[in-house]
Structure 1
């Protein structure tokens, strides 16, 4: 077994360790899908990410530990001294910044962004506290960088790498240009580190957002106001109420039981090789009279920024489709790179009307739906490519690499 590094694609911690592997040219497989990986489940029961397992079975988790070990694996004494420190004092100082970036700084950045992205219930007080903490940390960076080019030593080190990735994460919507203008030394350092080859794997063409993301609360407030205006309906006496006909749990339930073994297909897809085994089995059992295929595209790709945020958007959409999941299967992918990406996928639904399946999600109208005819080679190939994830997506005649994705199962 080759060495493996498990990460969450697009997360700051995932980007740090993945970029280190590429920069150091290590023989390590980077794995982003761990849900069905028995090796991961067996060796990392606490579900810690990133996680490393070597060819000899050596296991390691926690970002700081993994980062230091990867540098040691390069077997380059000069580079190791530069990145990790050449004396006890340098090593301690670098570790100080590494652990700070991975704890306090990352926690405040994630708290602000997750609240603004709707990944946590929005709370203005929590948001204000997180932004205040980021400002306090920026002041500490500003003070240090008034006299020094780098954070821990006289040269580029792991301290700069770790802190850069977390600030890059925060600058994608937790704070905007007005925040950055207040800290010129921080931004001078940030731009210096951003030009280093180590961070170019994931941050080439990176652009911080001009303003913070808007809080996701406007719609909820309007809905609450409307509900408060409406008078509660008066209940008729129980004896006078006409007997109500029992309604099916879901509109698609009216179609009855399908001959297609959906659960068998989901298991086969997750456990078998997609193209050589799973897809031939699927087409053998698929019945287009009972099911339909749809190309699903996000309408607002020009508003997407970091690829991991785009993937989180897909994950949230799939979560909100939970009442329709037993009538659906499919996958959606994020193609492209940070600040230039899009979302597209192929989803199979019970019946021929896409609205019945998708309208259970409040954000379903943010997507466009195009019916596919799998008797056409090009439509069948599109479905296979979306479910196999092994070929670039063709967008306006240009091939775009798949960076991440989600399976609806």
Structure 2
């Protein structure tokens, strides 16, 4: 058999690339490109295309197919062992990977840091580690008496765990996993994928970004005042500074309160009631403006739930402007090929006073929208989430989203 293996330098691509390289299988290894996008509209990697046109996605399915060609012994000695191999591979690909990412993604800045989510991820990850540790207490390999695909795929899922979570202290708690992992990544099959790997000394911890200190503005020299008569100075003057108002407060109260629109949107049917109400009662071009908001760095996004968490963090940091705007943003596409877009209704005619309360607001592009039929269609879909998003002439399904209200 021969064809093309599309893979990137991501965790789930290590084993399939290693099998092709080590056993010199007749497959070209290529990074995702235009041809890949034509063949696999969902953008899932790794992906395999045989010369006869057969297409395979999902790393476990591809790994099984390659192992069957390269070395059937990797699939176990009998059906029972094969079933156990699939069980361990699925456990790695879902549970271990899921909790691993939840633990370290916020710590290294892949998504906004959430202590509660990271701590829960760590707890769940260590539960997974307990299961593997106990298995390896009694057995050298996960299935049978020799190396199988189960060992390769589970070790693959531990890559980032040892990069970010398993420092020296943590490794002492899981000596069997540490010994086994070190053995598996140094096998002839996998070592080409771990040539630059190094164990960390200490578990990565979240470090909040430093806030830049602004230099105090020079004080203007005030003319000296004559001393007031003692009788007039008996009552002390408060030195407590007044809290600065939001710049949009200067625009005064709009004719239609935005809280009423938020109530309608939250409680009424979106297409049938809320959207007509928005255009009839809420949107007044003299008092409000419409903005399309797009994330600038879609090529850096990975998993869709992480992209949605990124939006959630952005919304949290916009909380100071809650009274002056409303918005919906969605994640469109699939894991490792997705983007973020949305719309906001903003008090006034400029976007900056509303958005610059969030430190990361410049990571987004803002386009002012006129209420044309085309723009209304886009806004209505951002409110309803019931139609694909059109990007560069292509329609892409919405995966998730959040509402700022």
TM-score norm. by structure 1 comes to: 0.52
- Please say if 1:339 is aligned against 2:336: yes
Q: CA deviation at 1:236?
A: 10
Q: After the TM superposition, which residues 104-143 of structure 1 pair with which residues of structure 2 at under 5 Å, given as runs?
A: 110-117=102-109, 118-120=112-114, 140=133, 143=136
- Please say if 1:323 is aligned against 2:308: no
Q: After the TM superposition, which residues 189-338 of structure 1 pair with which residues of structure 2 at under 5 Å, given as runs?
A: 217=207, 219-220=209-210, 223=212, 249-285=245-281, 286-338=283-335
1:347–1:183 CA distance, 2 compared to 1 (3 A): farther
1:217–1:148 CA distance, 2 compared to 1 (3 A): closer
Q: CA deviation at 1:341?
A: 0.5
Q: CA deviation at 1:272?
A: 1.0
2:395 aligned to which of 392, 399, 407: 399
Q: CA deviation at 1:323?
A: 0.6
1:243–1:300 CA distance, 2 compared to 1 (3 A): same
Larger Rg: 2
- How many residues are matched? 271
**Structure 2 gap segments, 5+ residues each:** 1-79, 167-177, 191-196, 226-236
Q: Distance in 2 between matches of 1:231 and 1:359?
A: 20
Q: How far does the alpha carbon of each residue in 1:212-241 deviate from its partner, in whole angstroms, 9 at most, with x for none?
A: 9x9874841x73xx57xx69999999x979
> Cα RMSD between the aligned structures?
5.4
Q: CA deviation at 1:244?
A: 11
Q: CA deviation at 1:261?
A: 2.6
Q: Secondary structure at the residue paired with 1:341?
A: strand
1:294–1:167 CA distance, 2 compared to 1 (3 A): same
Q: Distance in 1 between matches of 2:395 and 2:186?
A: 34
1:294–1:115 CA distance, 2 compared to 1 (3 A): same
Q: How far does the alpha carbon of each residue in 1:5-50 deviate from its partner, in whole angstroms, 9 at most, with x for none?
A: xxxxxxxxxxxxxxxxxxxxxxxxxxxxxxxxxxxxxxxxxxxxxx
Contact 1:334–1:343 under 8 Å retained in 2: yes
1:119–1:245 CA distance, 2 compared to 1 (3 A): closer
Q: Distance in 2 between matches of 1:235 and 1:253?
A: 27
Q: CA deviation at 1:260?
A: 1.8
Q: Could you say which residue in structure 1 is the equivalent of 2:367?
A: 370
Q: CA deviation at 1:116?
A: 2.9
1:186–1:111 CA distance, 2 compared to 1 (3 A): same
Q: Distance in 2 between matches of 1:169 and 1:283?
A: 52
1:336–1:175 CA distance, 2 compared to 1 (3 A): farther
Q: How far does the alpha carbon of each residue in 1:154-205 deviate from its partner, in whole angstroms, 9 at most, with x for none?
A: 999xxx9xx98x959967x9579xx9x95675999xx9xxxxxxxxxxxxxx
Q: Distance in 1 between matches of 2:396 and 2:356?
A: 29
- Please say if 1:389 is aligned against 2:385: yes
Q: CA deviation at 1:147?
A: 3.4
Q: CA deviation at 1:330?
A: 1.1
Q: CA deviation at 1:142?
A: 9.0
1:105–1:270 CA distance, 2 compared to 1 (3 A): same
1:300–1:105 CA distance, 2 compared to 1 (3 A): closer
Contact 1:141–1:186 under 8 Å retained in 2: no
Q: Distance in 1 between matches of 2:159 and 2:319?
A: 29
Contact 2:135–2:142 under 8 Å retained in 1: no
Contact 1:146–1:185 under 8 Å retained in 2: no
TM-score norm. by structure 2 comes to: 0.53
Contact 1:295–1:344 under 8 Å retained in 2: yes
Q: Distance in 1 between matches of 2:241 and 2:269?
A: 46
